[in-house]
């Protein structure tokens, strides 16, 4: 208990001492930023964004629940750090302190809102992450269109930065404000992976209609605007089925991984060995990514006999477990000094497991399923929300106990058995060729005699 107090105090002091790493956001009044209500020419974008987690970043009950715990644990030192990403306008304007939303302007309440992102001009400082965002505050909207024709509503200028992963990385890399350890590293995972090398950025997967890279998407960026070759979407769909755009999040989760299950067709007894392989086939970063000490992704493997009795039940959890200075784990991210364990799947990589069970009398049904939740049922309950479990992938296969069960003849079964069929075939071939060779020799001898 005493050690815990010391650790906590050290962290609090460290946070106060190193405020520069906490947030690079400038100070600016909220009046420099419009609310989404002012974006009436872009109604499609407003509809897409308003169901996203960006729009809900400050009002998200899971966020507020965790922030409250963090504030209690650190004596209020955490608030400005956390809020910087979850409501940059609220923090820049000084209207948002800790959990008190009473002075926050409507723009600040909109979390990560349109006019914040569209007044971002680059990265401030050398390290990407912890809101390392350069903001103009001059009202000119920055975006990816080379020849913007905005009309009288506002000015607009071309920004190459909006097509970069660094734009997202400014917030999608979170380092501990006291000890700088990476807590969320989606940007770094992407940067070190195959997608960065191929030039596929976050926007290509998270700002397009469906999973994968769906480009170009012809359309207009504003009512009455010219038709453009590619128009992105402001969906920012990820994995939050419970609080975000459920349909889009489910679609993305189901596209993220492929699950392979190998079982023998028939086992007449003994131990049956089965193998599962999960491949991160669709995510541009680790699976899971982001807040991986809280996210839950797990593989469940079961084998059930003909009577419905479970003869195998295994679970493997993917994610990170954080530890504190005393080596205790799991701990909350503000207490963390290191990672106790890390079981996640890098982009395009696979991970396999073998399991075995004693064969039953009759056929056995083997099922492997990969599940995802944004947080545990316990956390959801405490935050007062319902968070569903999503099935990312599932495979079911049957192991038969005899050839009869499959309707195979005994010969077909023998042929299907490992090696046996091949060897038998080889033996028969050798015998046939042997007879043919002898026949040819005999015929020659007989023909010679006749001549
Ligand atoms: C998280 C930051 C972020 C938020 C929030 C956001 N945008 Fe964007 N927006 C971007 C980025 C990045 C692009 C460029 C994406 C690309 O080209 O792949 C973009 C593109 C655009 C474009 C140009 C479309 C085109 O044809 O190229 C418009 C207009 C736009 N956003 C308006 C809005 C509106 C309106 C909202 C709020 C309803 C909004 N944005 C919310 C980051 C954001
Ligand atoms: C100002 C900081 C900021 C910027 C810039 C930003 N994000 Fe986010 N993003 C957040 C925060 C905060 C959340 C989590 C909100 C929550 O869940 O409460 C989030 C959540 C997400 C999610 C998860 C949604 C879900 O349903 O699970 C995705 C996907 C995402 N952002 C993509 C992007 C992309 C792509 C970009 C760049 C175009 C970007 N973000 C730029 C702060 C930011
Ligand atoms: C090749 C497509 C692809 C690229 C590129 C990509 N993502 Fe994702 N992303 C996905 C898929 C699929 C998911 C859903 C599975 C998951 O949660 O990882 C996802 C999930 C997410 C989530 C939600 C994670 C969670 O569990 O809450 C965030 C946040 C996110 N991505 C941000 C980013 C950022 C930031 C970048 C760029 C640095 C990026 N993504 C690049 C495909 C991609
Ligand atoms: C540098 C930006 C940044 C900072 C600082 C930050 N976050 Fe976040 N937060 C994010 C992003 C990005 C996501 C989305 C990641 C994902 O989907 O896994 C997120 C997601 C979350 C979520 C998940 C919400 C949900 O609905 O599942 C919680 C909870 C959260 N943050 C709490 C905190 C707390 C508490 C702090 C302060 C200790 C904090 N965040 C500081 C960027 C930040």
pLDDT tens digit string along 365-411?
999 999 999 999 999 999 999 999 999 999 999 999 999 888 766 66
Residue 67 lies in a domain: yes
Predicted pLDDT at 410: 62
Same domain, 28 and 127: yes
In this prediction, residue 449 has a pLDDT band, given cuts at 50, 70 and 90, of: low
> Measured in angstroms, how far is the CA atom of residue 291 from the centroid of ligand 4?
7
Same domain, 152 and 122: yes
In this prediction, residue 139 has a pLDDT band, given cuts at 50, 70 and 90, of: very high
Predicted pLDDT at 180: 95
Predicted pLDDT at 15: 46
**Cβ contacts of residue 400 below 8 Å, gap of 6+?**
265, 266, 267, 363, 406
> Measured in angstroms, how far is the CA atom of residue 390 from the centroid of ligand 2?
20
> Measured in angstroms, how far is the CA atom of residue 154 from the centroid of ligand 3?
32
Same domain, 360 and 445: no
Predicted pLDDT at 270: 96
> Measured in angstroms, how far is the CA atom of residue 260 from the centroid of ligand 2?
31
Which of the listed residues 236, 269, 292 is the one where a domain comes to its end? 236
Predicted pLDDT at 214: 81
**Does ligand 2 have an atom closer than 6 angstroms to the CB of 206?**
yes
Total count of domains within the chain: 3
Rg (CA), the chain: 30
Same domain, 390 and 426: no
The pick from 200, 256, 289 for probing ligand 3's pocket by mutation, whose C-beta has the most ligand atoms within 8 angstroms, reads 289
The pick from 144, 171, 217, 225 for probing ligand 1's pocket by mutation, whose C-beta has the most ligand atoms within 8 angstroms, reads 144
Which of the listed residues 236, 271, 305 is the one where a domain comes to its end? 236
Task: Provide mean pLDDT across the span 292-320.
Answer: 97
> Measured in angstroms, how far is the CA atom of residue 420 from the centroid of ligand 2?
56
Same domain, 231 and 257: no
**Does ligand 2 have an atom closer than 6 angstroms to the CB of 53?**
yes
pLDDT tens digit string along 23-65?
679 999 999 999 999 999 999 999 999 999 999 999 999 999 9
**Does ligand 2 have an atom closer than 6 angstroms to the CB of 249?**
yes
Nearest to 396 by CA among 372, 418, 364: 364
Tell me phi and psi for residue 70, to 5 degrees.
-65, -40
**Does ligand 1 have an atom closer than 6 angstroms to the CB of 249?**
no
* Angle value at C-alpha 439, between 436 and 445, nearest 5 degrees: 145
Helix (H) or strand (E) holding 424: helix 420-450
In the predicted model, is pLDDT for residue 17 greater than 60?
A: no
Predicted pLDDT at 301: 98
Residue 412 lies in a domain: no
Ranges assigned E (strand) in 144-185? 156-158, 173-175, 182-185
Same domain, 373 and 266: yes
The pick from 44, 45, 159, 164 for probing ligand 1's pocket by mutation, whose C-beta has the most ligand atoms within 8 angstroms, reads 45
> Measured in angstroms, how far is the CA atom of residue 172 from the centroid of ligand 4?
9
Predicted pLDDT at 402: 92
**Does ligand 2 have an atom closer than 6 angstroms to the CB of 88?**
yes
The pick from 57, 62, 202 for probing ligand 3's pocket by mutation, whose C-beta has the most ligand atoms within 8 angstroms, reads 202
Same domain, 70 and 102: yes
Residue 231 lies in a domain: yes
Residue 413 lies in a domain: no
User: Considering only CA atoms, which residue is closest to atom 13 of ligand 1?
Assistant: 162
Residue 411 lies in a domain: no
Predicted pLDDT at 200: 97
Nearest ligand 3 atom to alpha carbon 297: 26
Same domain, 59 and 206: yes
Mean pLDDT of the chain: 91
pLDDT tens digit string along 322-351?
999 999 999 999 999 999 999 999 999 999
Name the residue range of residue 312's domain. Answer: 250-406
Nearest ligand 1 atom to alpha carbon 50: 38
> Measured in angstroms, how far is the CA atom of residue 238 from the centroid of ligand 2?
8
Whole-number Å distance between alpha carbons of 356 and 288: 27
Whole-number Å distance between alpha carbons of 343 and 353: 13
In this prediction, residue 77 has a pLDDT band, given cuts at 50, 70 and 90, of: very high
The pick from 37, 39, 118, 231 for probing ligand 1's pocket by mutation, whose C-beta has the most ligand atoms within 8 angstroms, reads 118
Please tell me the chain's helix, strand, coil percentages from 3-state DSSP, rounded to the nearest 5.
35, 25, 40
Residue 243 lies in a domain: no
Residue 168 lies in a domain: yes
CATH number of the domain bearing residue 367: 2.60.40.10
Same domain, 86 and 19: yes
Nearest ligand 3 atom to alpha carbon 200: 5
Task: Provide mean pLDDT across the span 196-202.
Answer: 97
Q: 0.85 exceeded by the pTM?
A: yes
In the predicted model, is pLDDT for residue 431 greater than 80?
A: no
Same domain, 386 and 336: yes
Q: Strand 141-143 to strand 156-158: parallel, antiparallel, or no bridges (unpaired)?
A: parallel
pLDDT over 70, % of the chain: 87
Predicted pLDDT at 4: 56
> Measured in angstroms, how far is the CA atom of residue 283 from the centroid of ligand 3?
6
Residue 276 lies in a domain: yes
Same domain, 71 and 151: yes
Same domain, 206 and 305: no
Nearest ligand 1 atom to alpha carbon 54: 5
């Amino acid at each position: 208990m005493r050690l815990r107090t010391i650790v906590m105090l050290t962290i609090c002091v460290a946070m106060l001492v190193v405020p520069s790493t906490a947030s690079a956001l400038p100070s600016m009044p909220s009046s420099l930023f419009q609310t989404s209500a002012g974006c009436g020419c872009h109604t499609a974008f407003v509809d897409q964004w308003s169901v996203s987690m960006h729009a809900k970043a400050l009002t998200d009950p899971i966020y507020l629940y965790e922030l409250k715990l963090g504030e209690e644990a650190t004596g209020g030192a955490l608030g400005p750090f956390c809020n910087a990403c979850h409501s940059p306008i609220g923090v820049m304007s000084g209207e948002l302190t800790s959990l008190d939303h009473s002075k926050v302007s409507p723009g600040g309440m909109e979390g990560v809102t349109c006019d914040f992102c569209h007044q971002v001009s680059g990265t401030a400082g050398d390290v990407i992450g912890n809101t390392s965002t350069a903001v103009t505050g001059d009202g000119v909207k920055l975006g990816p269109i080379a020849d913007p024709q905005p009309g009288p509503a506002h000015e607009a200028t071309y920004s190459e930065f909006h097509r970069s992963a660094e734009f997202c990385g400014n917030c999608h890399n979170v380092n501990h404000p006291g000890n700088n350890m990476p807590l969320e590293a989606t940007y770094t995972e992407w940067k070190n992976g195959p997608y960065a090398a191929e030039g596929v950025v976050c926007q290509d997967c998270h700002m397009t209609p469906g999973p994968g890279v769906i480009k170009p998407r012809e359309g207009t960026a504003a009512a009455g605007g010219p038709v453009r070759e590619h128009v992105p979407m402001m969906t920012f769909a990820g994995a939050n089925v419970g609080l975000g755009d459920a349909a889009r999040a489910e679609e993305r989760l189901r596209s993220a991984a492929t699950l392979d299950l190998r079982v023998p067709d028939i086992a007449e007894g003994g131990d049956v060995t089965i193998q599962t392989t999960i491949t991160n086939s669709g995510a541009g970063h680790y699976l899971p990514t982001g807040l991986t000490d809280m996210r839950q992704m797990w593989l469940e493997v079961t084998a059930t006999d003909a009577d419905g009795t479970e003869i195998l039940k295994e679970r493997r959890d993917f994610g990170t477990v954080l530890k504190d200075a005393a080596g205790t784990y799991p701990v909350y991210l503000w207490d963390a000094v290191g990672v106790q364990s890390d079981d996640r799947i890098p982009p395009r990589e696979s991970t396999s497991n073998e399991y075995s069970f004693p064969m039953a009398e009759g056929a056995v049904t083997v099922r492997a399923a990969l599940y995802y939740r944004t947080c545990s049922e316990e956390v959801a309950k405490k935050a007062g929300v319902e968070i569903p479990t999503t099935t990312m992938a599932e495979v079911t296969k049957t192991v038969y106990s005899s050839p009869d069960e499959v309707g195979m003849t005994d010969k077909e079964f023998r042929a299907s058995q490992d090696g046996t069929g091949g060897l038998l075939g080889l033996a028969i071939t050798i015998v046939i060729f042997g007879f043919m060779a002898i026949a040819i020799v005999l015929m020659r001898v007989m023909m010679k005699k006749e001549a």
